[in-house]
Structure 1
Amino acid sequence: MTDPWQECMEHCVEVAKQAGKVIREALQGDIAVMHKSSQVDLVTETDQRVEQLIISSIKAKFPAHSFIGEESVAAGAPSALTDDPTWIIDPIDGTTNFVHRFPFVSVSIGFTVKKEIEFGVVYSCIEDKMYTARRGKGAFCNGVPIKVSGQEDLSRCLVLTELGFKEDPQRFDTMMANLRRILAIPVHGIRSPGSAAVNMCLVASGSADAYYHQGIHCWDMAGGAAVLTEAGGVIVDISGGPFDLMSRRLIAASSGAVARSLASHLTQFHVGRDDTDGS
């Protein structure tokens, strides 16, 4: 039986390459920075241009498909995951990195059918690393198979997360307390590369052992989630329960044991969902 989504994945890789080229070219000039919800929530003309490039290219080839794109949602488009074939797009995952020319900047695209992730593509375009994964067919970086470290002892892990200003002081205090609690286990260290999709791919390739985050979005997670799971990793909710793509929170780990152990050390805070109006 032929794979009905293989053509979609092949097109996804090509459009990610095109998007990466636009991003690299933009880094050679001045970057005009705008703000969304706060002074630290950045967006650039390149984010918007790249998303338009990706969506227009895919629509031309697959006009019946649905889309959830970061910049489209910011402009008022709905963020609802249905059973339809759906492309979930982050045109520049790591916009703050892009603005500062910090080299972890990725194009992240996930593809779902009946709310299940069928494939994911993450192109870390400054590094020129193309991560790909198709459900049931493994994960790859530049065509070479990758796999997680398999580490099962949290105290021997390198852990990834992301740090940012929180206007709610309780959220900020909880975020900092979680860092302190994990460091006190102790773990080998905590790193913050600045791109959720790259973080998941680093765990997928065995360069780190776990990644956790509260407050991200489905477009941050969809592409990397495919790569991580196909590389043998585990994704769960911050609580340790089942992963929910629209929940805005996750733990990605090298093993179930690490995921469960990390969950037991984390305090949750409310972040809302991508498929509701609440925040």
Structure 2
Amino acid sequence: MNSVNPENRKEREPYVVTSKGYTAVAINAAAKAGEWIKSRQGQVKELGSKTSAQDLVTEVDKGVEQMIRRLILTHYPDHAILGEEGVEPGADNVAFALEEARKHDYLWIVDPIDGTTNFVHGFPFYCVSIALVASGELTVGVIYDPIRDEMFVAEKGKGAYMHGIPAAVSAEREPGSSLIAMGFPPDRVFAQPANMAGLQQILPQVRGIRAGGSAALHLAYVAIGRVDGYWEVGLSPWDCAAGVLLVQESGGRVTDTLGKPYDIGTRHVVASNGGIHDFLVTSLGEAKGTGFES
């Protein structure tokens, strides 16, 4: 269905990480964390919530983030780490933590389990997401899906890959033939109405919409052409940093919901193969579903 644009397809030669550098460390951390997460599915003992009853956190989330922190800091003790479980809930707290984190030359952005609600329910759609921002630029993005054993890797200027095979976004340019992903974050007051408005506007115009419950995996799916586009209002940096680089390095496009360039502080995100991007942005504007409406 989602044909791959041959112009975006690189030579199908396996990509091999040969150094002990940033990417290798991110892959190692994601793989080890993913293995442990998978082993704990169905064994959650402590279930808590953050901003609402829908915003879940488990002891597994916390343990995995500590594991990833240790693995990164073993190699790079002077680097900063911004992780979901290390920041108090709420948009203001996230914004403050991000501004502090931006002061560092090397910043790792970590989501130990993107899709915690899925993990808790045994719904097999969640992942580990790790990104590195160097001197203000997204440099490395790694997403690991432990259920499917799929490792998505992107390096700035070097492309994106799944298990070493170059990734490319789809070639679809017609909204009516496109499959779109979206999300519903836990915020029922601000984000949900905006996302619902976008859904009502876009759904009648496309082939289908999927909401799997993991922003990072949705972005990875855009990068490899499984879906043609994705949008969501109300995200945090750890939800999308790694996935954004994957999309960009696969030949896709990422902006905010107004069409402005993505920044690691962008909360309202549109990602696509490029061919249907303007359609998504325009539709969200018409629906007043950008998240920027007063």
TM-score surpassing 0.5? yes
Distance of 1:171 and 1:202 partners within structure 2: 22
Is 1:259 the counterpart of 2:277? The answer is: yes
Compute the RMSD of aligned alpha carbons.
2.1
Q: For residue 269 of structure 1, what is the aligned residue in structure 2?
A: 291
Q: For residue 50 of structure 1, what is the aligned residue in structure 2?
A: 64
Is 1:136 the counterpart of 2:157? The answer is: yes
Out of 151, 166, 173, the position equivalent to 2:193 is: 173
TM-score (norm 2): 0.85
Pick closer, same or farther for the CA change 1:164–1:64 going to 2, 3 Å.
Answer: closer
Deviations 1:190-222 (A, max 9, x none): 001111110001111111000001101100111
Q: Which shows bigger deviation, 142-151 or 120-129?
A: 142-151
Is 1:39 the counterpart of 2:57? The answer is: no
DSSP 3-state at the match of 2:171: coil
Distance of 1:215 and 1:44 partners within structure 2: 21
Pick closer, same or farther for the CA change 1:31–1:129 going to 2, 3 Å.
Answer: farther
Distance of 2:234 and 2:259 partners within structure 1: 16
The AA in structure 1 aligned to 2:291 is F
Distance of 2:165 and 2:185 partners within structure 1: 33
Q: For residue 13 of structure 1, what is the aligned residue in structure 2?
A: 27
- Does the CA contact (< 8 Å) of 2:268 and 2:291 recur in 1? no
1:1-150 paired onto structure 2 within 5 Å: 7-74=21-88, 78-80=97-99, 81-150=102-171
- % identical equivalent positions: 35
TM-score (norm 1): 0.89
- Does the CA contact (< 8 Å) of 1:82 and 1:114 recur in 2? no
DSSP 3-state at the match of 1:74: coil
Distance of 1:207 and 1:62 partners within structure 2: 35
Q: Which one has more relative contact order, counting CA pairs under 8 Å at least 6 apart? A: 2
Distance of 1:83 and 1:157 partners within structure 2: 40
- Does the CA contact (< 8 Å) of 1:104 and 1:127 recur in 2? no
- Does the CA contact (< 8 Å) of 2:44 and 2:60 recur in 1? no
Q: Which shows bigger deviation, 148-157 or 32-41?
A: 148-157
Q: Offset at 1:142?
A: 1.3
The AA in structure 2 aligned to 1:198 is L
DSSP 3-state at the match of 1:175: helix
- Structure 2 residue ranges without an equivalent (≥5): 1-16
The AA in structure 1 aligned to 2:31 is K
DSSP 3-state at the match of 2:74: helix
